[in-house]
Amino acid sequence: MTVPTPAATPVLRTVGLGKTYHDFWGRPRVQALAGLDLEVAPGEVFGLLGPNGSGKTTTIKLLLGLLSPTKGEAFVFGRDPGDQDAKRRIGYLPEETYLYRFLDAEETLAFFGRLFGLPSALIKSRTDELIKLVGLDHARKRRLGEYSKGMARRLGLAQTLINDPALVILDEPTSGLDPIGSAEVKDLIIRLKQAGKTVLLCSHLLADVEDVCDRIAILHQGVLRELGPVDALLRADDRIQVELKGPNAEQLAAIRNAAGSSLVSVAPPRERLESHFRRIITEAKGGGSKP
Amino acid sequence: MSQLVGIYAIAALSIREAVRQRLWLPFAAGAGLLMAIGLRLGAVDDSAKLKLAVVGITAVIGFVTVLLSILVAAGQVRRDLDARVAYLLFAKPLSRWAYVVGRWLGVMGILTAGMLALAVVGTLVMSTVFPALPQMRDVHKVVAWEEVSPLGEPITITDDSSRRMLSGQPGGGIRWTIAGLPTEGPQDGLELLVRVQVRGVGDQMALEESLVSVTAAPGKGGQRLLSLDPASPYGFGTDGAKPGPGQVVLRHRDSSRNDMVQDFARLRLTPDVIAPDGTTIIQITRLDSRSTLVLTRNATVLVARPGGGFLLNLVRGGLVLMASAGLLAAGTLLVATVSNIGVTLLAGLTMFFAGNALWTIQDTLAYEKLSAPVARLLQLAQVLLPDFDRFSVAANLAASQSIPWTAVGAAWMYFGLYAVVFLVLAWFSLARKEL
């Protein structure tokens, strides 16, 4: 995986960005973010990690101009976060699906398309394309009030892409989705990257982030704790993993002897639960013989 | 330009939201009420029928538009904020001012559609109850008046009183100057409507009619006798006796009897008594010593011309009512940006009731002994509160008086100014809001 360098003109940039929430009397109540310095390059999939209350969503809201920083600055496409032209190039999926329950899928996408000033014909074609992409073709005329949480999440994802954004901000995109849906979202993120889009992924599901992100930042209590490429951060330089295809007992014995006391473990690799689950469901959908 | 698209999107969303949430039900209920009024009108005295029908229709339109303006504005904006849909909206290229304007226009769109529907239902009800719908009249206002002594000498009215009593020796009268009349009106002339209060004198207390002469002239001199319109509801005397040329028997009509079709004696104001500048001077001269006449500056003589059909005037009246509903919607929308749904609804209703009770503040200030701070507070409220009784739509329509476009414009100027201030404050509040 090629990791774009942040040296290119950044899509997102924060300089000492901080946010402190105040109470009614203006007294500081909680510091949500303390001096965040960050750059995200074009075409990069950037993960923002952290436990609940670490400042991830606050960072996103600051980048979208929904909150005003109490210190520092943020730039989106080199502009102020409130800039309407910058917003025109952003797709945003909030942490929870905030959509109108009285609209159906088509009307929802058409409404958001109109907010971007897209022509009617383009809205129609994008709507058809996105509804199919998120697997809601069978429910396109149903009102959202009748949707399950996962279906609403899928539609939320579709509205994120209605304007074919250059920057996609996803806040916990797999929240409420089943494992298949989560895997599809991850596939989608990879496809977005292949299409040259920049993705800011905010999640506390580490496996999701690890699978798709080029670089990550880890926040804790509003402070940036770590920043860098995923591969570099997770590589354990003091260990080597050797995988053999169909080894026999002699080969394993030879390895044990050669490694001596530095050997940590010799065991068959485990399939990841997610890929196992996907395989079972795919087989079941294909009319497999397993019960 | 891009924000106009956003405004349109939000306004269209508001209308769709209202339809999906069945907010048309109050309009349907209103229409049902109008039909019920139509059915029950048969039990009412003929002379009161028209007035009751018109008051019923305007009351239903007014009530439903006011109620919905508050409900829709409060509900939609609060839901966006409480359900956090606003996160998503303002992450898009939608300015907060465009959102405020879009929501307000959406409310107005809903009200317009509902008002038009109720006006049509109301007109249909009227047309089933009455063989012919009343033709409305435009009225020209009096610009000056003076008293004339029994000897024909003019007496300037210097006090602020808008009423004059004529009694004693007959021959005295009142002259009214009316301006702005069309100089090339219909050949048979404009309508001159006359209504007075008649009180008997001495042993004639029960007297309810009085003989007068009605004359007009383009200038101070040369008054010409005006003739009664053959279709006048009265003027000929209760015994059917025809009065002399230029003489009219005026029947007692107090201020509550103001229907221009049935409560006014009708005469013809021919083009030869109108000056080239559109001015005429009308004089009523008291001829009967047995009665006292009470005449008013603005309501005794009216020059009227056709003011359009009933439906058109009802729609114009509806637009006046909508101007006040627009103010309420804007005010409610403002409160919705800063407080919860309960407070927002309460604020909208309070604003409406306070604006309707302005006369109590005026009375309190005029007749009560108040401490200085309370008086100042009430004076401030009097200045700041919008007066919802300022444009009397129901009374005008019930009197067969047209609602001209100028009244619609004036209402929108008056209430619109408040609405603009509220919308700007709502935008300011929303712009400062951290989501």
pLDDT (0 to 100) of residue B238: 67
In a domain, A209, yes or no: yes
pLDDT (0 to 100) of residue A289: 45
Distance from CA of A92 to the nearest CA of B (A): 7
H or E, element range at B212: strand B209-217
CB-based contacts of B66, cutoff 8 Å, min separation 6: B321, B324, B325, B328, B352
In a domain, A6, yes or no: no
In a domain, A180, yes or no: yes
What CATH number is attached to the domain comprising A144? 3.40.50.300
* Residue A277: pLDDT over 70: no
Contact call for residues B134 and B400 (beta carbons, < 8 A): yes
Higher per-residue confidence, B368 vs B198: B198
Instruction: State phi, psi for A73 to the nearest 5 degrees.
Output: -140, 155
Q: Are residues A127 and A23 in the same domain?
A: yes
Strand partners, B282: B176, B216
Nearest by CB to B95, which of A84, A107, A116?
A84
pLDDT (0 to 100) of residue B97: 94
- Report how far apart, in Å, the C-alpha atoms of A92 and of each of A171, A279, B70, B93 are: 8, 31, 32, 12
Using alpha carbons, select from A148, A183, A186, A194 the residue that is nearest to residue A170. A186
Q: Are residues A201 and A263 in the same domain?
A: no
Find the mean pLDDT for residues A262-291. 69
Q: What string of DSSP letters covers B261-295?
A: TTSSEEEEE-GGGS-TTS-EEEEEEE--TTEEEEE
Cα distance between residue B155 and residue A86, in whole Å: 76
Please state, as a whole number, how many other Cβ atoms lie within 10 Å of the Cβ of residue B223: 22
State pLDDT tens for residues B30-84. Answer: 888 888 877 776 666 666 777 788 888 888 888 888 888 998 898 889 999 988 8
Find the mean pLDDT for residues B319-326. 92
Domains identified in chain A, total number: 2
pLDDT (0 to 100) of residue B242: 73
Q: Do A90 and B91 touch (CB under 8 A)?
A: yes
Question: Under DSSP, is residue B303 helix (H, G, I), strand (E, B) or coil?
Answer: strand
Residues from chain B that touch A103, judged by Cβ atoms under 8 A, are: 16, 20
Q: Are residues A37 and A140 in the same domain?
A: yes
Contact call for residues A6 and A39 (beta carbons, < 8 A): yes
Contact call for residues B58 and B273 (beta carbons, < 8 A): no
Q: Are residues A257 and A229 in the same domain?
A: no
Using alpha carbons, select from B166, B270, B167 the residue that is nearest to residue B215. B270
Cα distance between residue A22 and residue A29, in whole Å: 5
Contact call for residues B141 and B282 (beta carbons, < 8 A): no
Q: Are residues A254 and A230 in the same domain?
A: no
Q: Where are the alpha helices (DSSP H) in B83-138?
A: 85-91, 96-129
Q: Where are the alpha helices (DSSP H) in chain A?
A: 56-63, 84-87, 105-115, 120-133, 149-160, 179-194, 206-212, 230-234, 249-259, 273-285
pLDDT (0 to 100) of residue A229: 87
Cα distance between residue B181 and residue B208, in whole Å: 32
pLDDT (0 to 100) of residue B163: 85
Q: Are residues A57 and A108 in the same domain?
A: yes
Mean of per-residue pLDDT scores for chain A: 85
Residues from chain B that touch A88, judged by Cβ atoms under 8 A, are: 93
Q: Do A66 and B90 touch (CB under 8 A)?
A: yes
Q: Are residues A42 and A124 in the same domain?
A: yes
- Report how far apart, in Å, the C-alpha atoms of A37 and of each of A13, A116, A208 are: 7, 30, 24
State pLDDT tens for residues B265-319. Answer: 999 888 888 888 889 999 999 988 888 899 998 889 999 888 888 889 988 998 9
Per the listing, tokens 């000498």 go with B153
Task: For an interface test with A, give the residue of B88, B103, B430 to mutate (most A CBs within 10 A).
Answer: B88
Q: Give the whole-number percent of chain A exceeding pLDDT 90.
A: 38
Residues from chain B that touch A107, judged by Cβ atoms under 8 A, are: 16
Domain extent at residue A79 = 12-234
Q: Chain A contact for B4, CB < 8 A? A: no
- Residue A242 burial class via C-beta count within 10 angstroms: exposed 0-12, middle 13-18, buried 19 and up: exposed
Distance from CA of A83 to the nearest CA of B (A): 8
Cα distance between residue B215 and residue B217, in whole Å: 7
For residue B219, give the DSSP letter.
S
Cα distance between residue A265 and residue A239, in whole Å: 11
Cα distance between residue B121 and residue B61, in whole Å: 11
- Report how far apart, in Å, the C-alpha atoms of B367 and of each of B6, B163, B363, B375 are: 52, 22, 6, 11
Find the mean pLDDT for residues B422-433. 92
Distance from CA of B332 to the nearest CA of A (A): 21
In a domain, A262, yes or no: yes
In a domain, A158, yes or no: yes
Q: Do B88 and A98 touch (CB under 8 A)?
A: yes
Which pLDDT band, with edges at 50, 70 and 90, does A290 fall under? Answer: very low
Q: Chain B contact for A112, CB < 8 A? A: yes
Find the mean pLDDT for residues A253-279. 78
Q: Chain A contact for B20, CB < 8 A? A: yes
Q: Do A114 and B8 touch (CB under 8 A)?
A: yes
Q: Are residues A276 and A209 in the same domain?
A: no
CB-based contacts of B273, cutoff 8 Å, min separation 6: B216, B217, B218, B224, B226, B280
Question: Under DSSP, is residue B435 helix (H, G, I), strand (E, B) or coil?
Answer: coil
pLDDT (0 to 100) of residue B1: 60
Task: For an interface test with B, give the residue of A106, A114, A143 to mutate (most B CBs within 10 A).
Answer: A114
Looking only at the bridges linking them, the beta strands covering B209-217 and B224-225 are: antiparallel
Q: Chain B contact for A107, CB < 8 A? A: yes
Domains in chain B, start-ordered, CATH in brackets? 2-133+309-431 (no CATH), 137-306 (2.60.120)
State pLDDT tens for residues A126-163. Answer: 999 999 988 888 889 999 999 988 889 899 999 999 99
Q: Are residues A164 and A194 in the same domain?
A: yes
- Report how far apart, in Å, the C-alpha atoms of A182 and of each of A154, A185, A191, B42, B236 are: 10, 5, 14, 70, 92
State pLDDT tens for residues B154-188. Answer: 888 877 778 888 888 888 999 999 998 888 767 77
- Per the structure block, which two tokens stand in for A188? 């989608």
Higher per-residue confidence, B289 vs A275: B289
Per the listing, tokens 């024909």 go with B152
Most confident region among A2-16, A89-103, A242-256 by mean pLDDT: A89-103
Question: Under DSSP, is residue A216 helix (H, G, I), strand (E, B) or coil?
Answer: strand
- Per the structure block, which two tokens stand in for B396? 């005008």
In a domain, A3, yes or no: no
pLDDT (0 to 100) of residue A291: 42
Cα distance between residue B282 and residue B294, in whole Å: 16
Q: Do A87 and B93 touch (CB under 8 A)?
A: yes
Mean of per-residue pLDDT scores for chain B: 87
Distance from CA of B432 to the nearest CA of A (A): 9
For residue A272, give the DSSP letter.
P
Distance from CA of A117 to the nearest CA of B (A): 6
Contact call for residues A67 and A106 (beta carbons, < 8 A): no
Q: Are residues A204 and A260 in the same domain?
A: no
* Residue B335: pLDDT over 90: yes
- Per the structure block, which two tokens stand in for A270? 């485990």
Contact call for residues A48 and A56 (beta carbons, < 8 A): yes
Using alpha carbons, select from B411, B395, B404 the residue that is nearest to residue B307. B404
- Final residue before a domain boundary, out of A208, A234, A260: A234
Contact call for residues B101 and B109 (beta carbons, < 8 A): no
In a domain, A1, yes or no: no
Instruction: State phi, psi for A238 to the nearest 5 degrees.
Output: -90, 10
Chain A: residue whose CA lies nearest to B4: A117
CB-based contacts of B295, cutoff 8 Å, min separation 6: B163, B164, B165, B166, B174, B196, B284
Burial A213-232 (b: 16+ CB within 10 A, else e): bbbbbbbeebebeebeebee
State pLDDT tens for residues B101-157. Answer: 999 999 999 999 988 888 888 888 888 877 777 788 888 888 899 999 988 888 888
Contact call for residues A123 and A113 (beta carbons, < 8 A): yes
pLDDT (0 to 100) of residue A40: 93
CB-based contacts of B259, cutoff 8 Å, min separation 6: B47, B50, B51, B398, B399, B400
Q: What string of DSSP letters covers A81-126?
A: TT-HHHHTTEEEE-SS----TTSBHHHHHHHHHHHTT--HHHHHHH
pLDDT (0 to 100) of residue A158: 93
Among the listed ranges A200-204, B6-10, B40-44, B278-282, which one has the minimum average pLDDT value? B40-44
Q: Are residues A103 and A226 in the same domain?
A: yes
Q: Are residues A69 and A17 in the same domain?
A: yes
Q: What string of DSSP letters covers B329-360?
A: HHHHHHHHTTS-HHHHHHHHHHHHHHHHTHHH
- Report how far apart, in Å, the C-alpha atoms of B103 and of each of A80, B6, B122, B336 are: 26, 10, 28, 12
Chain B: residue whose CA lies nearest to A98: B85
pLDDT (0 to 100) of residue A226: 85
H or E, element range at B48: helix B46-82
pLDDT (0 to 100) of residue A274: 65
Strand partners, B292: B199
Cα distance between residue B420 and residue B370, in whole Å: 33
